[in-house]
Structure formats: C-alpha cells, structure tokens
Structure 1
Amino acid sequence: MRRHATINILGLYNLSLKSILLTLSVLILAPDLSLAQFDGGNLNKGTRKGLESKFLPVERAFILSHRIEENKIVFDWSIAPDYYLYQNGFKFNKAGDFEEDIQFPIGIVKWDDYFEKELTVYYNEVSISVSLLEEVKTQVVEVHWQGCANAGLCYPPKSAQFEVNIETGTSTPHVPKINEVATSSASNSVVFTILIAVLGGILLNLMPCVFPVLSIKAFELLKNQDSSRLSKAHGFVYSFGVILSFVFIASIMLLLRASGEAIGWGFQLQSPIFVTSLVFLFFIMAISFAGFIEIGSRLMFLGQSSTEGTSYRSSFMTGVLATTVASPCTAPFMGPALGFAITQPISVALLIFGFLGFGMSLPLLVLSWVPSVYKIFPKPGAWMNFIKQLLAIPLILTAIWLLWIVGRQTNIDVVASILVGITSLSVCVWLLKTTSYQGSWRKPIAYFCLVLAALIPFNILTHQKTDPKWEKFSALKLQSLNSAKKPVFINVSADWCITCLLNEKLVLKSESFYSTLNDNNITYLKADWTNQDTEITNFLNSYQRTGVPLYVYFPGNGEKEQILDQILSPTEITTILTKRTVL
C-alpha cells in the first residue's frame, strides 16, 4: 500500500512554519494593534473609550435615599446620566429573609453583554417600596443593588442596612456588631459561581474549536498509558498551562477595564487582526489533522514530539494553545460566571477565571490521574489516525465561521484578502511537500508564498478606508445637473467586472483624477451595476451598451456628451476632462 505522503515542516523547514506561528502569536497576544477604520457600523461595536475616560465612584453614580411611609420603607435611587441599575440586582432582606413580593416599576429592557440575556434596567431614577413587619417594633432592612455605565463598566453589588422603628416612623443606618453574622449571600454567590465556572469549563471541551486540540494530548496519554507517573505529570502541566492562560487573559481584561476601557471577556475578538490570525491558525491545525502536514504537538514551539511523551513544555504549551483556540467559543454556564466575575474585586474575579480554566483542563486531568479511565478506550491503533483526520472537519468549519465574523466586522475586500492568503499558504505547503522535484526554485517560491500569506491580509486590514469621493447615480440627479449646465462624469461599473476594477485602481482612484475633478468643478456619479438595477440598465441601453464598463462625460457647456474608451489612461481622461476649460 502506498503510504500517505507527509512532511515534518518543523523538522525540515523550521523557518517556514515558525515564521507563520510567530506572526500569529504576536498578533494573538497583541490584539490592540492599530486597526483600520472600515465602512459600516459593525466595527463600532468594538469602539473603545480612551484611557482618559473616567467613571464615577459608585456612591456618585447611584445615590441612595430612603423614607418611611406608613408601614413601608421607600428606597429612592438618583442615577447619573449614562448609568443604569439592574432590576434583578435589587434584593431586600428583612429579619433574615429576602422579600419575594416586590412590585418593581416599569423599566427599559435591553440586551446585556455580560449576562448574555435581556434584562430590565432603570435610568435617571427609580423608587421601590418594601413592606415592613407590623409585629416587630424595631427591625433591620438590608438592601442590595448593582449598576453599570453605558461605557461598559459594571460595579460590584452594593448593600446597605437600615434600622427602622415602626412606632416613631424613623430609620437610621445600621452598623452590624463585630460578633453579628452577616446575612449577605455574597460568599454563597462566589461559591456557586465557582461551581458553574468549573461546569462551563468542562463543557467548553465539547466545543468544535477546543475538542480537536484536546485530542492531541489525549492521544498522547493513551499511547503512554503504561507510564502512570509520567502521565500524571503531563496532565498536571497541561492543566497549569490552561489555568495560567485563563488568568493571564483575564488579568489583561481587568486591567484594561480598570483603566477605563469599555471591554468585556472576549474583547480580543473585537479585533479583526486577532480574528484573522485565528482563521490562519485553525486552517493550519485543520490541514495538520487531515495529514497534509505533520506538526504534531510541536505546534507553537511545543518542543519534542508528543509521541515521545517526555516534554513538559509540550504539555504546557498545548494548554496555552487550547486556551487560545477556545477564545471564540462560549459554553453553557460560562455567561453567568463571567458576568458575575467582572463585577467582583480582582482577586475574586481571577479566582473564578482560574476555576474556569480548571474546569476546561479537568477531563484530561482525570484521564491522566485515573488509570481505570483508559479501559473505556480501545487500544492505540489506526483508529486514532482516523479520528484525528475526522476532527479536521470542525476545525475547518470553525475557520469558516471566524472568516464570517471578519466579514461582518470589516468588508468583502478583507475576506477576499484572507482567502488569497490561505491559498498562498496552501501553495507554500504544496511546494514543500512536492518531493519529486528538487530544483533550487522550489524553496524560494514557497517562502515567497509564505510571506504573501501574511502580508496580503495584513495590508488590507491596516489600509485606511476613505469616504467615497463620488455620488450615487440616478437619472433624476443627472437630469438636474444637466439642466444646471454643470459638468458630470459618470462611471458605470460592477464589482465582478475586472476591467472596471483595473480602471478604478489605476486611474479613477488616483489623486490626479480627483484633482482634475475638483479644479474643473466636475460632479462624479457612480452607477454600481453589481446587482440588477433597472435604472442603470436603461442608461446603458440608451448608449446601445449591454455591459460594463461605460464612462460618459457631460461637458456642461451645451456640447454633446462624450463616451470614453473602456480601457482608460490617465493622460486621456485628463485631456478630456480639461477640454471644456480650453474652449
């Protein structure tokens, strides 16, 4: 039987794969690189406040006052502009029991990014009445509330206690005694959040972006199941890599939030450069799993081959890689855990993120520390290669999904540049894999394709988009300009017209062309025929044309319009557009 030909890129061609992965690593760990400003409103979702942005102290953002009315205590909050309070953040405790029958006023329903669901919130002011216990002369009422700023900062829950005297109708702030047991459920909330964080981390392993990476280490442990001590060590180091990576990313997020950045978990996915890097990373992993290249667990400089099972650096970096590729995914239970964590002090927040990482590493940790688990798996063999190749499918689908995200964030030009980059990378792999030809040209061309794979998308991503310097064509507008005897240049084109795109690139987007238009007060109209448009079709038919491009110039001085050649030249178009000033 013919063996499937593979190459070990890291063994034979260190420069090529390491160049790709080093670039990806830099982009992934530095998502705040300068980004292009794209047309459309999608990118505005990721717009950040400057570091100089200041948030009000919680006492000034939400000012609490209270009053006694008959057998009720009324709490009034004055809310600063652009701040709001959560309805579900209000809790009222009387005599150790939380009040259930609270009549909340009507609020505003909005989608909350942190809790990942629609919640009722209050702006400007809100008043809530709480019934008092008639049979108790003096009683303590405890109130909890939580709010956020529109800019993205959410404050930790706040609470206050008031001692109310029913007979006198007065109330004073209540300070608990040192030996009094607090009735707050904050500690219970932290414990509960840790539990759902662990559960969310476990479920994260089932996501299509994580499960294939998990299999890398799982297959290694299955191959080395006879060495129990070594397997335990590798499981521990892998878990340490996952937990440390989660804490590291969370630390960056919390520090940026503290400095005024309006961001949350997954903030790096708001960067088109970061998401593009993930597209290439998932594509490389997919072709590796499919068997076209052989990188094993050396990916991201993991060191020694996983089949040897002796590199702890390999296990650690596999954990880092698993966390990196998990960034686009969100598992059930993660939303509430993350939403609660970012409202807590940094130490508590990092603890929750650490347990989220622990949950993600737990399945492999169990596999490495509980030998009896191996019995449920078949013995290592050809089935492992089949499963590995099968797992390339979810990796490719994840790459396609990430490409769709980039398209939503930017535009079709960026998506096309990424596809060109992936094609260039594929050509690089093909050239390095082609062993039948050993000419000296093969490696230089492969490395050139590798450079193109990185440069083409990066150049488009960082290219500054400018507002169009033309107006949309309409027959009515053309008629109005002709009536006013104003000169008009009309460009009828389509995105699928190669000649049109070439003319625009070489002539119609040049500074000399725009200068000629401005100097001669010429109105530039563009008729985009990419999609069916009856009005543009009728305009083409009026000049006996059935296709694009078509370039028409109306001098505006009473002369007949002039049709330009389909292949434009800078000299010709400048001569024609300036002719009217010579007459």
Structure 2
Amino acid sequence: MLTGQKDLAKHTVQGLLEVKLDTNWKTYWRSPGEGGVAPSINWDMSSNIAKVDWQWPLPKRHDFLGVETLGYKHDVIFPLSIHIKDMNKPVFLSGKLTMSSCTSICVLTDYELSFDFTPNKLMPSTEAMFLYNKGESQVPKSSPTVTLNTLSYNKAEKKVTVVATNTTGWQQPDVILDGDTQAAKDTSFLKPTTIIKGNTLYATLPVTSWFGTPKLVGQPLHVTIGDHDLAVEITAKATDTPVSIPNTTNNLLKTIGLALIGGLILNIMPCVLPVLGMKLSSVISAQGLARRQIRTQFLASAAGIIASFWLLAAFLTAMKLSGQALGWGIQFQSPWFIGAMIAITVLFGANMLGLFEIRLSSNANTWLATKGDNSHLGHFIQGMFATLLATPCSAPFLGTAVAFALGANLVTLFAIFTALAIGMAAPWLLIALFPQLATLMPKPGVWMDRVKTLFGLMMLATSVWLLSLMTSFFSANIVWGLGAVILVIILWLIGRKKGRKTVIITLAVMLLGVAAILFTGSLTANKWAAPLPPDHHWIPLDTAKIATEVAQGKTVFVDVTAQWCITCKANKMGVILQEPVYSALDNKNIVLMRGDWTKPSDYVTGFLQSYGRFGVPFNIVYGPNAPKGIELPVILSSDSVLDALKKAGK
C-alpha cells in the first residue's frame, strides 16, 4: 500500500506492508532469534526501482519449549521507503514476499506482490498515511535522552554487556542485539538479565552459536532497547572492556521480604475469608489433642499451602516455556476451573452445615476429607484450597513480588513463590511451633455448631459469587438454572437430614430475610448510605487511541479489571464510584478506558506485561504532563487517583 507521500529531492515514495496474523500465529523480526526465518522480499523483477528500505517495528520475545524467538503476533505494519530512479517515469513493482508464520508448527509461504504507479502523479491517502505513521512510531530510532555507555563482549563467559543511560529513567526495559556482519548473524543473543541503578541500565545477554565461540570484539552491533513508549536503536562496535555490574542480592532479598509480607496479608483478604471457618474448626478440633498431633496437623495445613504455591509456580513455568501469557489469577479465566471451585465450595459448605459427613473408614476418604476429623490429608487439602481461593485477591506487596518472579529466571520464580507460601502459611507454622496456642481457644460446645453454620453459609455465598462469574462464559439462563438445581439439591439434603419441616422453615427464612433486607434498605437507604451511581461510560482499551487523546490535550484513565477480581470490585465500589473521584472522572476532558481480563486476552496481557504487571487490578493515568503514564497503587484511594489526574492533566 502506498501513502501517496513522496520526496522529489530524494527520489523516494512511502509505502507499507501490513501483515495480519490469526490468533497465536507469529512471524519474525529481521533477526528471528534461536529459530525462525525473517520475512524478505525479492524485488528483482521490478522496473525503475533503485532499492527498497524495509523498516522493522520493535519486536516481542516469544518462548516456546525453551526456544526463544523475536517477532510479532496479530497485526504488524512494516514501513517501506521506495527509492525511484526517475520520478517522472512509471514504476512497476513486482516482488515475492517470503514469510514464515508459526504456532506449534511453521509454514513458509511465498506471496506475489505487484502494482504500478507514476511517482509524480500519486495522491495522498489518509488511511495509508495513518497506517504508515502507526508503523513508523514503533520503529526504534536514536533518542537524545538515551546514551550507550558501554558495549562489551566477554569471550570467556560468552556474554555481552550493555550499559546505557536514560535521562528520563528506565521502567521495564528490554535489550535486543543483532548485527549485519556474518559473525553477528551466526550468533544468537538471548534474553538479558537487567539491573537498573538510578538512570543507568546494565543488561547482560548470553550468546550462543552453532559455529563455536562467537568472535564479536570489533564487530558493529545494533543495540535495540524497548521500554514504555520508548524504542531506541544505537549501533556501536563491541569491545572487550571489563564491566563492573552492581550487586543484585539486595534487590532479590527485598523482593523475597515483600513476598513474605504479601503472603501473610493474604490471610485477611476477602478471598480467603470463607476459608476461615475451616481454619477456626481446625483450631477448635485440636482441643484435647496431644501437642505432637496438633503440630503435625498444622504442619499438614502449611504443607498444603506451600504445595499449592509450588503447583502454581510449576503451572506458570510450563506456560512460560510454551510461550503462553502469564498472570496472577489466570486460572479464573477458565470456566472449568471456576466450575471445579463451585463444586468444592458447595461440598465444603454443605458439610459444614452438617448435611453430610465423610467417613474416613469408607472408600470416600478422598481429597474432600474435611475439617472436623484428624486426617492429615484433610488439613493438607484445606491449605491447598485456601491458596487457590486466594488468587483473585491482590494483597499489598503481592504485585511487586509476583511481577519480579514472573520476569525472572525459573529458580528465582520458585524462590519467590516459596516465600509467598511461607508468608501465607505463617499462622499455621506459628501454631505448629507453639501448640499450646491452640488451647487458648474456648472449649467446643453449642456455639461451635453455630459458628460452623455461619461459615458454612459464607462458603455457600462464595459458591454464589463463583456461579456469577460463569455468566462471562455462558448465558445467564444456563448459569442461574444451574444455581436453581444446586439450591434444590441443598434443600433436598436439608430435608433428608433435618426433616421436611426444616426445609419449609429454611425457605420461609430465606424469603422473609430477602424481603426484610429489601424493605429496610428502601426505607433507610438515604440515611445509612448513598446508593452507588451508574457506572461511567468506558471504551475498550486501545493503546493507539491513548496517544491520540493525549496529543489532543486530554487525560486518559485506564482501568484493567476482571469480573473475578475481588480487589477490582473493592476499588470500583469504594473509590471509582464514590465522590469526589466519581465527579472527577465524569469530566468531559477525561477519557475512560477499560481492559477486561475476565477471559484470556493477549492484548490486555501484553499491556499489563509492558508495565511489568502480571495481574489485576491495574490502573494508570496518561495526560499531556504524563505521556508515559502515572501508575496507581493496587489498592486505590481517592487521594491517589485525584493526585494522578491533577499531575497528568494540563
């Protein structure tokens, strides 16, 4: 496609090649990495053409089964500069595009391209010019704010170290190396380990080659650095000058410390509250047991928590090695997982209400072994269940630790997830260490049955919440039809265990309770709380539109959320829909964008990961004074939102 723009003095015409790929298919950058073939065009059959310059937008890294490649998914635009011999004569473009596209398999395809035009008669095309500028904006160029300080190759360790300074500071930079010489083309430059100290970036890239140890000293290399709204390319010759790398031990220890605190705080987050009944029951059931037995039971619960975090780490590792999207809580994007959690919470809730019992002497001694027995398996399952139910919550410090873990190597990932597990298991480890703490609880009695009933109802309420999440995957009629079936089963169990009279009383209490709540709420709503206003008008997340709106002097507030995210709901009801934030966001100079992560979305995942985030909620404010955005804390406050809006706006 031609834009119609021409430079008569330089004898050039602007054009572009737009490639649209199906979901999960990718093509490659000019240097594809450890595998793949870069796209190429043979223009030999063209006439009145001197040459064609192909520009390459900043690529993304893709990892599949341990093989790292560089390239593009979905849509990519390659800007072209066509050099014409004679601007007054017709041009015939005839080329063969050879492009490799891959998922788990690769297909190498040839495409015939041909069209003709007369350069001095071209008319500008608004659509083509927009696409060209969109592609051009993603092509790395030199920047006055970025300086390459050192490009050093350590032949003995087979590593290249890049030291660069950005006067505006670094956020989540990635460094890519390649070159035009044969030595550089024969070398694979792998994913870097990066350290940021002040405004200085230290990136160390391992190198490999099929032809032995690469000889890179003195070779010109292209250093491409991508960061938030930054794509820079600098060419320099590699030296063998030694580079002193700052120590990262303190950063890792700090992150592990945050992980321990974040894991501990998870115990009091809303997602875990329904499990408190099981925890409380465990403590109470320890009355009269030997200290050794108390210790082993609580160690079993702690082991369940740790094992569950390790399973999550293993799951994320498998996804990372297969090149899939990573994120905290992504299992809630699967209706199968939500369905399994509904079944588990209903069974646990019904068991706590005394509607059925699991006898360890029978063949039903399964992974649903419950709270009231002395089974180590039961306590182990409690720990695992608590962890899985905790993932929709983002406790303070958790986001920082998870982001560091998912962006690090596999050993560090497991180390940080282990720290999260130990933090969450800390209360159980404390009782295991000091079993006498369990004796401080009141002795079992009638009150214990009432408490178990309360927490059983809380567990069933959790089932209702999980059931509501299914409306994102199935029609509401199907979902609530399933809910009605579950309710009938619960009532049948009540009738079987407690009698028909109890069923009638239960239904009457439910109806009267709902009626009383609605009636009382309608009479007193204006006195005890103001009703929530209607939600704002949100448009879907569009990174290209963000830049356009900011260029027009507007402020853009981005909310990345998910239906299953409890913290997102708290932010919405507690801050976004409350004054004074509600009125501030209603300003016509503010554009509201929402990224929905309820279901898997490569686009939203890519946006999150571009800011080093691997979970929701995530809020960021852009504006004329903050084109790169002002990131907001995980748990919003009115002051933080208003302050960001003020700083970003004019």
Scaled by the length of structure 1, the TM-score of the pair is 0.46
RCO comparison, higher one (Cα < 8 Å, 6+): 1
Q: Which has the higher helix share?
A: 1
Q: Which has the higher strand share?
A: 2
**Largest Rg, 1 or 2:** 1
Scaled by the length of structure 2, the TM-score of the pair is 0.41
